[in-house]
Amino acid sequence: MRPVALVTGASKGIGAACAVTLAQRGFDVGLTYAEDRAGADEVASEVVRAGGRAHVRQAEARDWDDAAAVVAEVEEALGPLDALVANAGITRDGPAVRMSAEAWSAPIDVNLTGTMAIVRAALRGMMRRRAGSIVTISSVVGVQGNAGQANYAASKAGIIGLTRALAREAGSRGVRVNAVAPGYIATRLTDVLADAHRDHLLTATAMGRLGTPQDVAGPVAFLCSGTSAFITGTVIAVDGGLRI
């Protein structure tokens, strides 16, 4: 029987790459999306082509009850979760002095509270079974900060603290909780960067390029696998040697 993973925010970018990579490494995969059903269905098709079963579910990341329903539905369709990748996230960039209350709250609610909601829903069963791996998606911005992203940076820094706290809570029950902190990855979020900003990032990155979603998916799949059985409470930077 293939192990089962749930990837949130899996209709595009890093989430999509994680879902397909996990399928290629032997997992059946549940996928959630916020709005892009067509994208999620295409990723599900790639999961099936890789030999896995797929289950697609629309989800509201910040809704605690919906998070519990997502986990229950995926487990009914595919089986008990062996791994969770909490990837769903948004940005609402802007200078702090002009940031509205809604612009502040949205990334905190989706990125941080949404991560806690889905992790809590998955963690109960994993702890009962005394097995499982949870991978949260933070960001280099949560470690270093970034002008114009106070809200996003706060949410991603919070994910690191949450990950380390949960690792301590769940470790004695056989469940591992780790984070991956991507640097600047070529996705729709970086497509809007000005040329000067992009050039600066390339200069500041030891590898001289932006990352790809697949660059992130590999470390995520490693943390979901038994190969990382003695790793918990850690944050893996996937940033190409970025030093700003």
pLDDT exceeds cutoff 80 at 210: yes
DSSP E strands: which ranges in the chain?
4-7, 28-33, 54-58, 83-86, 132-137, 175-182, 235-238
DSSP assignment of 182-243 equals E-SBSSTTTTT--HHHHHHHHHHBTTSS-B-HHHHHHHHHHHHSGGGTT--S-EEEESSSB-
pLDDT exceeds cutoff 80 at 11: yes
What digits encode the pLDDT tens for the residues 94-141?
999 999 999 999 999 999 999 999 999 999 999 999 999 999 999 999
Q: What Rg, from alpha-carbon coordinates, does the chain have?
A: 17
Closest-CA residue to 242 (of 154, 143, 156, 160):
143
What digits encode the pLDDT tens for the residues 83-101?
999 999 999 999 999 999 9
> Taking the model in full, what pTM does it have?
0.96
Say what the pLDDT of residue 190 is.
Answer: 64
Residue extents of the structural domains in the chain: 4-238
Residues assigned a catalytic role: 152
Say what the pLDDT of residue 243 is.
Answer: 83
DSSP helix/strand/coil, 90: coil
Q: Kind of pairing, strands 4-7 and 175-182?
A: unpaired
Instruction: Band the pLDDT of 226: cuts 50, 70, 90.
Output: very high
Q: Name which residue leads in pLDDT, 54 or 146.
A: 54
Kindly compute the dihedral angle of the four CA atoms of residues 131, 3, 110, 108, in this order, to the nearest 10 degrees: 40
- % of the chain surpassing 90 pLDDT: 89
- % of the chain surpassing 70 pLDDT: 96
Mean pLDDT of the chain: 95
Instruction: Band the pLDDT of 187: cuts 50, 70, 90.
Output: confident
Would you say 87 and 12 are in contact if contact means Cβ atoms under 8 Å apart?
A: no
Taking the domain 4-238, which CATH number applies? Answer: 3.40.50.720
